[in-house]
Amino acid sequence: MSHKRIPKRKAVIAVGGVAALGAAALLLPNANASQDDAAGDATPRTFKATDASDLATRLQGLLGETFAGSYYDSGRQQLVVNVADGDDNAIAQAEKAGAVVRQVANSIAELKSAAQTLRTKATIPGTSWAVDPRTNKILVTADSTVTGTNWDKVESTVRSLGSGTATVKKSAGTFKTFVSGGDAIFSQVQGGTVRCSLGFNVTASDGSPAFLTAGHCGVAAKQWSDSETGQPIATVDQATFPGEGDFSLVKYDDPATQAPSEVNVGNGQTVQITQAADATVGETVFRMGSTTGLHDGTVTGLDATVNFQSETDPGGVDTVTGLIQTDVCAEPGDSGGSLFTQDGGAVGLTSGGSGDCTNGGETFFQPVTTALQATGATLGDAGAGTGAGGGDQQAGGEGVGGTADPSATGGEQSGTGTGDPSGTGADDGSSLTQTR
């Protein structure tokens, strides 16, 4: 990765990008514009996804314990809110606010109880589960390594919860963390080079410039460089993995570093990141990674639990909770990379998943909002106080000028490397992995 020197060092690890794009044709400037002006008081309104998410949060407070989840119907651009045993007055208020209200059988409390049963009885490497508000059930996924008695245990646990509460499906790949990503970052460790992706530039709580990436990257190595053979430019300050998340806060070593709040999507284009955004089931999201470039997909579940095969204990499991589940593809090297919305919302950091960008699969992301809250960091330009203009930003040696719509440039990202944290070669993407 190249970078340009200016009087005060500017970090040109752009927020999550390399060269060409895939999925670019989808980012149309006004594709999700709100169209609710003509809606009647109790007629479902149309919203862009971020506005739907805000409304869902407000309605959750209004409906209280009867709120049973929500999702965004991207085809109709409507917010669908599930209600379990809600009173007529609260439902009427939700409808007046423009939501589509749907009566369902399972409350959030019941679904969380089912998830706890899974945690107790089916914490097996290669499994995951998340609430799917579209079906009002827990969706359990088992990867290709879950066979024999382990598969029997998963099936019997799901069956004990009842067909109206949980379902299970098999995934062709294997859950793994994906080492490598956004704009590539590197660290030299015993046994080889660890490669991950930068997620989003932030300002640490002490005002210093920093960035977020995957927690399993921060656990794997302490110091990070913007080139495979370069000197370290940043040091891990905090790292969480496994447990309640998969995120790291990494501080730039030079306090004068200027870290623009943008995602570099290649071809001289960037997307300005203006806010942290909670994910909404059903919304379209975009992922940028240094291995596979730009890809899009849909949020399919929230508060997901993923049981990765432990990288340090052959018989152990690394359980991570609170993740976003999507059908966006990713591959080794994409770990830590940016998940964002068309209008500049920072949504997630690539954690891991199954499959690849040829056959597809599931990918899980650490919510940015949770990572910011845990680390005390804030989104926005860090360090020497320049704005996040793209004129000095570089990717792959080409100058980047101005901002652009990441979905409007076409082309598929070609792989730029096959980082393997163990130094033994490229991962084939066939298992449930983390994406360092």
Active site residues: 216, 246, 335
Q: CB-side exposure of 134: number of CA atoms within 13 Å?
A: 14
CA distances from residue 41 to 57, 61, 310 in whole angstroms, order as listed: 19, 20, 53
**Contact by Cβ (8 Å): 348, 278:** no
Q: How far is CA 314 from the centre of its chain?
A: 27
Those residues with Cβ within 8 angstroms of residue 321's Cβ, 6 or more apart along the chain or in another chain: 243, 244, 245, 303, 304, 305
Distance, in Å, from the CA atom of 338 to the CA atom of 23, rounded to the nearest integer, reads 14
CB atoms within 10 A of CB 235: 14
Largest CA distance in the chain: 65
Q: How far apart are CA 218 and CA 228, in angstroms?
A: 17
In the block, residue with structure tokens 């990379």:
337
* The Cα angle at residue 113 between residues 112 and 118, in degrees rounded to 5: 95
- In the DSSP assignment, the letter for residue 237 is E
* 94 contacts 101 by C-beta, under 8 angstroms: yes
| DSSP-based three-state secondary structure for 277 | coil
C-alpha angle 307/312/315, rounded to 5°?
A: 60
Using CB atoms within 10 Å of the CB of residue 318, give its burial: 0 to 12 exposed, 13 to 18 middle, 19+ buried. buried
Contacts of 210 (CB under 8 A, 6+ apart): 201, 202, 203, 204, 234, 237, 249, 250, 251, 252, 259, 377, 382
Cα first-last separation, the chain: 17
Looking at residue 46, what DSSP letter applies? P
d(CA 47, CA 283): 11
**Are 247 and 220 contacting, i.e. CB atoms less than 8 angstroms apart?**
no
Q: From CA 319, how far away is CA 361, in angstroms rounded?
A: 19
State the Cα–Cα distance between residues 146 and 109, nearest whole angstrom: 28
**What residue has token string 């895939």?**
22
